[in-house]
Amino acid sequence: MRLKHIKNAEFIVESSPYVIDKPEDNKGFWNKVFNNNNPIEIEIGMGKGKYIIEKARQNKNINYIGIEKYDSPLVNAIKILNNENLDNLRIICFDAYNIDTIFDNEISKIYLNFSDPWPKKRHTKRRLTSNIYLSKYDKVFKDEKSIEMKTDNDDLYEYSLISFEENGYEIIKTDTNYKDTITTEYEDKFISTGKNINYVYVVKK
Which are the catalytic amino acids?
116
Phi, psi of 89 (to 5 degrees): -135, 135
Nearest to 45 by CA among 149, 163, 180, 189: 149
Nearest one of 3, 54, 42 to 183, comparing CA atoms = 54
- Within 10 angstroms of residue 105's Cβ, the number of other Cβ atoms is 11
CA distance 6 to 195: 29
Question: Which helix (DSSP H) or strand (DSSP E) does residue 65 occupy?
Answer: strand 63-68
> Running DSSP on this structure, what letter comes out for residue 5?
P
Beta carbons within 8 Å of 84's beta carbon, 6+ residues apart? 53, 57
Could you tell me if 43 and 53 are in contact, meaning their C-beta atoms sit under 8 angstroms apart?
no
